[in-house]
Amino acid sequence: MLDINKIRKDFPILQRKVNGKPLVYFDNAATSQTPQQVIDVIVDYYSNYNANIHRGVHTLSQEATDKYEAARNTIQKHFNAKHSYEIILTAGTTESINLVASGFASILKKEDEIIVSALEHHSNIVPWQMLCEKTGAILKVIPMNQEGELEMDSYTELLSDKTKLVFVNHISNALGTINPIELIIEQAHNVGAAVLIDGAQACPHVKPDVQALDVDFYVTSAHKICGPTGVGMLYGKEEWLTKLPPYQGGGEMIDQVSFEKTTYAGLPHKFEAGTPNICGGIAFGAALDYMNAIGFDKIANYENELLAYGTKRLLEIEGLKIYGTSKNKTSVISFNLQGIHPYDVGTLLDKMGIAVRTGHHCAQPIMTFYNIPGTVRASFAFYNTKEEIDALIEGVKKAKMMLS
């Protein structure tokens, strides 16, 4: 069992009030809150050893470099990558996907096919459309069903020896669906295609093992896992990272530079041009340490309890419809009240101190599929409680009364 009272004390922001009411933070799918343990690491960095890394001989630079590389090792262990140089530190999921998409510009040929799913975040759609424009490759889409699950039979039919790459999210940020990525990866490999998994929404809930998954690329952002914004990672199999060209040119990513010819640094530095988010990288490692100390099994169990309770209570409200009803889902509940715009519900909830997301959640194709402008999305983390869900229920009932 989780000691929720103790855990909640780790998060200073959970003590604050919003519009005179205790904050109920249910926008975890957009970004998670930061525990004091991670805030302390950030303060310590700027207070005691702020310096540029990998280049100074002086003590501060050495200390910063050691801590930065230690964080990379923490991330490697967490995801069970074979080598620490297979972990590329980036600005986040979006940058990681753009890095891979940009690299595939030199690999894909006209008429090659790449496959996306209907459940994606825009950051796992748009970079690939840009890649198709550049290369003449063709984008195919795995359709979804009413429950918000992928149509796996259609996926099998889409695969062929023309397929070069498949990219899907591990968990949908808009609906909470857990996708069968093991099967997706296996079937893609059977036709010789590589697979990129967008893990931004999965990593707060599960601990992926990239070697067991045999995935080619796995990407995530630190800010959804109790870390800071503007930092994340790209895991890539060594053979793929060796094959892909550098993403950006600049300092740190080179071996030798002359005006005639420049040679590139080895992994991971080949993909890490310029001064990185040093403090962010170190705090990313601290965030994983924090969550691992609690334990992902316990986190998942507790969040599933919150999901079951929240689903049951919300469905008691007449005229409320939940989008995303897969049996395989995490603690994300997208819903609408009949005849009421999600934005209005969200605005009233905010007046009651309850933070939810409203809109298309950067996943417009899903909203188009359901023929709705958007949803109200309540997403729970391990520091939320059933009492907070009760407050949400009261809030939604009040909003319904005021708006209908």
Does residue 123 touch ligand PLP according to CB under 6 A? yes
What is the C-alpha to C-alpha distance for residues 325 and 80, in angstroms, rounded to an integer?
A: 31
Place of tokens 């036709």: 191
Min separation Cβ 172 and ligand PLP, Å: 7
Q: CB-wise, 86 or 198, nearer to ligand PLP?
A: 198
Instruction: Find out whether 264 and 270 touch, Cβ atoms under 8 Å.
Output: yes
> Pattern 303-342, binding to ligand PLP, x per CB under 6 A?
----------------------------------------
Does residue 173 touch ligand PLP according to CB under 6 A? yes
For 80, how many CA atoms within 13 A lie in the half-sphere containing its CB? 9
Structure tokens at 291: 């969550």
Q: CB-wise, 169 or 334, nearer to ligand PLP?
A: 169
Q: For the chain, first and last CA: distance in Å? A: 41
Does residue 360 touch ligand PLP according to CB under 6 A? no
Does residue 93 touch ligand PLP according to CB under 6 A? yes
Min separation Cβ 224 and ligand PLP, Å: 6
Q: CB-wise, 357 or 400, nearer to ligand PLP?
A: 357
Backbone angles phi, psi at 301, to 5 degrees: -60, -50
> Which amino acid, residue 79?
F
Does residue 121 touch ligand PLP according to CB under 6 A? yes
Instruction: Find out whether 287 and 227 touch, Cβ atoms under 8 Å.
Output: yes
Question: Cis link prior to 268 (omega < 30° from 0)?
Answer: yes
One of 28, 32, 65, 94 touching ligand PLP (CB under 6 A): 94
Instruction: Find out whether 266 and 85 touch, Cβ atoms under 8 Å.
Output: yes
Does residue 92 touch ligand PLP according to CB under 6 A? yes
362 classed as catalytic: yes
One of 76, 169, 330, 384 touching ligand PLP (CB under 6 A): 169
What is the C-alpha to C-alpha distance for residues 387 and 378, in angstroms, rounded to an integer?
A: 14
Instruction: Find out whether 87 and 76 touch, Cβ atoms under 8 Å.
Output: yes
Site for ligand PLP, residues 199 to 228, rule: CB under 6 A: 200-201, 221, 224
Applying CB under 6 A, the residues found at the interface with ligand PLP are: 92-94, 121, 123-124, 169, 173, 198, 200-201, 221, 224
Residues noted as catalytic: 362
